[in-house]
């Protein structure tokens, strides 16, 4: 089952934001996330807020969804205006899910057009959709490109059939290069998502997936360690002993191999789990999350953040559609972060980036962080040259232990 929403304060029915959301807004980028909650099948490892078409009906159906999402776009624009948040054009738009491309390309284009009408689009803005390789055609990708999409992120996950089977992925490996070629022909930048550490995946399997992905010449690759979430089919299979459990040493070896092959293939890391061919081809939408910019999340279960005010929508698509149909905010709850919490989150996220974390900024957390830097250098977790220049940048070993590095920086 999808994971539970966080706890928080009740969200006001009108969605209006407190004064804190206005502070410093002109200096922050503004992006849009659009959650498409539909999948052809539920993958065994997934705990995202997604549903198969047969599970839903009424205003939550795939046919009606574009209109419902557009209703939230209009609601969001009105809320920001009435809250006094300065108008800003969209710097990034990201359609995620689920499988966004299960909707007709014309529906995705309608949602994007409505968003542009509401806020405008910065020159050179990044507009991405996630897609499964078996959910696109040359015609659908061309329609998306014509509508203003600039980038597609394919869920490749693996090039090994038995690994894809464990993950319950529906595409065959041969479909990926075909989809990449179609995207290129439409003029779209291409990212590939990979998962490592699947039960039964050998190091040789992972090497084959990496080498295969790199052979397609993508602009960007994300490689994520498989996390087994409670309540998923995969968690139950591991508990019953049907498939082996997750091994941290295996994850570490596969991450090191990924970094080695990506670097040899011309991609550089810019965030712990992400590599791009050039700095310009890094995913700007995800960078906005890691840098604490503003975004509005459209869709059931979607999260939003504006100026330290964070909120999340009701999870079920029917409840989401009903709230918007009644003119009410779809938000289920929200929280207003204090300066200390925002500072801690800034450290946690910035430490994962190759641009690093300014060591001087750790002073706001007391002496713990600055005093920890020398020990982190001695342990080979932080680049000493970057530290000498005032930046905390993780080494390869540090990336493997990123959470532990952050714990050493932050005060108890």
Q: What is the pLDDT of residues 97-131, one digit of tens each?
A: 889 999 999 999 999 999 999 999 999 999 999 99
Q: What is the pLDDT of residues 304-359, one digit of tens each?
A: 999 999 999 999 999 999 999 999 999 999 999 998 899 899 999 999 999 999 99
Say yes or no: domain 19-290 is CATH 3.40.50.360: no
What's the average model confidence in pLDDT over 66-70? Answer: 97
**Where is average pLDDT lowest: 38-42, 90-94, 339-343?**
38-42
For residue 2, give both structure tokens.
């999808």
**Where is average pLDDT lowest: 53-62, 202-211, 277-286, 349-358?**
53-62
Please determine, for residue 1, whether its predicted confidence score (pLDDT) is greater than 50: no
Which residues on neighbouring strands pair with residue 305, listed in sequence order? 295, 310
CA-based nearest residue to 382, from 367, 398, 364: 398
Q: What is the pLDDT of residues 148-199, one digit of tens each?
A: 999 999 999 999 999 998 888 777 899 999 999 999 999 999 999 999 999 8
pLDDT at site 242: 67
Which residues on neighbouring strands pair with residue 353, listed in sequence order? 271
Residues 6+ apart with CB under 8 A from 211: 261
Would you say 33 and 297 are in contact if contact means Cβ atoms under 8 Å apart?
A: yes
Q: What is the pLDDT of residues 215-242, one digit of tens each?
A: 999 999 999 998 765 666 666 666 777 6
What is the distance in angstroms between the CA of the first residue and the CA of the last residue of the chain? 34
**Where is average pLDDT lowest: 267-281, 296-310, 333-347?**
333-347
Which residues on neighbouring strands pair with residue 296, listed in sequence order? 32
The CA-atom distances, in angstroms, between 80 and each of 95, 110, 281, 309 are 21, 21, 30, 12
Every domain range in the chain assigned CATH 3.20.20.70: 19-290
Would you say 112 and 94 are in contact if contact means Cβ atoms under 8 Å apart?
A: no
Would you say 60 and 321 are in contact if contact means Cβ atoms under 8 Å apart?
A: yes
pLDDT at site 52: 73
- Strands (E) across 139-273 are located at 151-157, 189-196, 220-225, 268-271
What's the average model confidence in pLDDT over 82-101? Answer: 96
Phi and psi for 178 in degrees, rounded to 5? Answer: -65, -45
DSSP 113-176: HHHHHHH-EEEEEEEEEEE-GGG--HHHHHHHHHHT--EEEEEEE-S-HHHHHHTT--S-TTHH
């Amino acid at each position: 089952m999808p994971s539970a929403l966080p706890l928080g304060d009740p969200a006001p029915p009108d969605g209006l934001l407190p004064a804190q959301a206005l502070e410093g807004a002109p200096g922050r980028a503004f992006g849009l996330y659009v959650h498409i909650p539909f999948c052809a099948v539920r993958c065994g490892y997934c705990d995202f807020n997604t549903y198969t078409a047969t599970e839903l009906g009424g205003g939550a159906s795939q046919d009606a969804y574009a209109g419902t999402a557009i209703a939230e776009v209009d609601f969001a624009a009105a809320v920001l205006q009435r809250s006094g948040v300065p108008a800003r054009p969209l710097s990034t738009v990201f359609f995620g899910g689920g499988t966004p491309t299960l909707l007709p390309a014309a529906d995705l284009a309608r949602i994007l057009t409505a968003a542009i009408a509401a806020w405008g689009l910065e020159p050179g803005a990044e507009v991405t959709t996630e897609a499964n390789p078996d959910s696109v055609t040359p015609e659908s990708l061309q329609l998306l490109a014509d509508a203003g999409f600039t980038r597609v992120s394919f869920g490749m996950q693996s090039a090994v059939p038995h690994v894809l089977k464990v993950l319950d992925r529906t595409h065959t490996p041969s479909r990926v290069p075909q989809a990449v070629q179609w995207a290129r022909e439409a003029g779209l930048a291409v990212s590939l998502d990979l998962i490592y550490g699947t039960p039964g995946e050998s190091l040789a399997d992972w090497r084959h997936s990496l080498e295969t992905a790199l052979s397609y010449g993508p602009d960007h690759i994300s490689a994520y360690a498989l996390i087994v979430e409670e309540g998923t089919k995969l968690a139950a299979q591991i508990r019953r002993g049907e498939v082996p459990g997750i091994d941290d040493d295996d994850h570490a070896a596969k991450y090191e191999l990924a970094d080695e092959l990506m670097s040899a293939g011309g991609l550089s890391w810019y965030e712990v789990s992400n590599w791009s061919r050039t700095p310009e081809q890094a995913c700007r939408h995800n960078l906005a999350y890691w840098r604490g910019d503003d975004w509005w999340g459209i869709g059931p279960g979607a999260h939003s953040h504006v100026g330290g005010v964070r909120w999340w929508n009701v999870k079920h698509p029917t409840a989401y559609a009903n709230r918007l149909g009644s003119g009410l905010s779809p938000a289920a709850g929200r929280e207003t972060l204090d300066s200390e919490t925002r500072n801690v989150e800034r450290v946690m996220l910035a430490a994962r980036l190759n641009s690093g974390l300014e060591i001087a900024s750790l002073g706001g957390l007391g002496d713990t962080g600055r005093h920890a830097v020398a020990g982190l250098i001695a342990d080979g977790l932080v680049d000493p040259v970057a530290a000498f220049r005032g930046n905390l940048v993780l080494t390869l070993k540090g990336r493997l232990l990123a959470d532990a590095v952050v714990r050493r920086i932050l005060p108890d």
